[in-house]
Amino acid sequence: GCDGSILLDPSPTIDSEKNSRANFQSARGFEVVDEIKGAVDEACGKPVVSCADILAVAARDSVVAVSLNTIILLLITNYNSKCYALNVY
pLDDT for position 75 = 55
Q: Domain ranges for the chain, please list them.
A: 5-75
pLDDT for position 24 = 74
CA separation for the pair 30, 17 (Å, rounded): 12
User: Does 41 appear as a known binding residue?
Assistant: no
User: Does 20 appear as a known binding residue?
Assistant: no
User: Does 3 appear as a known binding residue?
Assistant: yes
Q: What is the pTM of this model?
A: 0.60
Q: Which residues of the chain have pLDDT under 70?
A: 1-3, 69-89
User: Does 4 appear as a known binding residue?
Assistant: no
Single-letter residue type at 65: A
pLDDT for position 89 = 43
